[in-house]
Amino acid sequence: MNKDNDILKWFNGEISTEEIKTMYPNEDFSALEKAGFYSKQIETPHIDAKKALADFKTRSLNKTKKETSKVVPLNYKMLLRVAAIVVLMLTCSYFIFFNTEASYKTGVAETTTLNLPDDSEVVLNAKSQLTYNKKEWDNQRLLTLDGEAYFKVTKGKKFTVNTDAGSVEVLGTQFNVKERRNFFEVKCYEGSVAVTYNNETTVLAPGKTVRVVSGKMIKIDDFTSQNPSWINEESSFNNVPLWQVIEDLQLQYNIKIKVANGVDTSQLFSGSFTHKDKNIALKAVTIPLKLSYKINGNDVEFYNYGAN
C-alpha cells in the first residue's frame, strides 16, 4: 500500500529514482523505470495549428451552409414523423377505447370461472371460448360461445348465448350449454331457458335438457342434479353416443383416442368419468360398454373386450 503510494509519488516527481531505489532496495524497478522513460517518447500527433484553424473555418462554414439548405427537408420529415405518431396514437386509442370485445379461452384439460359485468357467473369448460362486447353489455347481454360453459345468470334483461349450433335466451337462471361438432346440448338448472335451434324455440323448465345430435333433436330424461357434473371435475352422460364421450375424454386428458374395428361408436353411454385420473376415467367409460383399452403415450386405443 505504502509502496504503491511511493511509486505514485515517484511518477509524480515528488520522489527521485535514486530515492525510491534506496527506500526499497530489494525491489526491482527497472521495468517501471524503463516504462516511464520510453513512454515519454511516444509520439504525439504533429499538428499545424494554423492549418488546423483554417480547416476548421472551412469546415464550420460548410456545416452552416449544409444546415441552411437542409432546413426544408428536415421539417418535412419532422412533419411526417409527427403525422405518423398521431395516426399511431389514434389507432391505439381506438383499440383501447372503442374495441371493447372481451374474450376468454381455455385450453385442453383446463376450466376457468369468470364474472360478467352484471355479476353473472360463467364457468368455462376445457377447450372453449367465450366472447362478448363490453360496451354493449348494458343494452344487450349477448355472448358468443364455442365449446361448453355453465352459466349462473343474475336477473335482468334478456341474456343470450349464441353458438354455431343454436342460441339460448334466458332472463335469470342457471344453465349449461355444450356445443361440439354435431352435438348441441342445453341443460336448465334453475329458472327457464328458451333454446332456439333451426328457428324452432323450446322453453326448458328446471331439470330439462335439449340435445341435438347430428341435426336431430333427442328427448332426454329429466335430471335432478343442482349443477353440471364437470363443475365438480366429472363428466356425466345420459344416453350419449360413444363418439361424443370419446371427444370429451380427449378434451379433458389431452389424449388421442382411436377406435378399433368392430367397436360401435354410436352406442349410447350412460355414466360419468372423473377429470382427475386418466386410468379410472378410461375404465369408467370402457367397462360398462364391454370394451378394453391400450395406452401408448398420448394415444389410446379402444377395442372390444376379448377381441385381443
Going by the DSSP 8-state scheme, the letter that residue 7 receives in this structure is H
One-letter amino acid at 200 equals E
- Laid out side by side, the sheet with 174-180 consists of 112-115, 121-124, 148-152, 174-180, 183-190, 209-213, 216-218
Estimate to the nearest angstrom the gap between the alpha carbon of 108 and the chain centroid: 13
55 binds other proteins per the rule CB under 8 A: yes
Piece of 11-19, 70-78, 118-126, 208-216 that binds other proteins (CB under 8 A): 11-19
47 binds other proteins per the rule CB under 8 A: yes
Which 76-115 residues touch other proteins, going by CB under 8 A?
Answer: none
- Number of Cβ within 10 Å of residue 247's Cβ equals 17
12 binds other proteins per the rule CB under 8 A: yes
Of 12 and 69, CB closest to other proteins: 12
| Strands (E) located in 71-207 | 101-105, 112-115, 121-124, 129-133, 141-146, 148-152, 159-162, 167-170, 174-180, 183-190, 193-197, 200-204
Among 2, 13, 18, 296, binds other proteins (CB under 8 A): 13
Nearest to residue 185, comparing CAs of 217, 153, 160, 207?
217
Which 178-207 residues touch other proteins, going by CB under 8 A?
Answer: none
Least distance (Å) from other proteins to the CB of residue 74?
A: 17
66 binds other proteins per the rule CB under 8 A: no
37 binds other proteins per the rule CB under 8 A: yes
Of 69 and 103, CB closest to other proteins: 69
CA-CA distance, 69 to 79, in Å (whole number)?
17
Piece of 48-56, 142-150, 268-276, 294-302 that binds other proteins (CB under 8 A): 48-56
261 binds other proteins per the rule CB under 8 A: no
Q: List contacts with other proteins (CB under 8 A).
A: 4, 7-8, 11-13, 28, 31-45, 47, 49-50, 52-53, 55-56, 59-60, 63
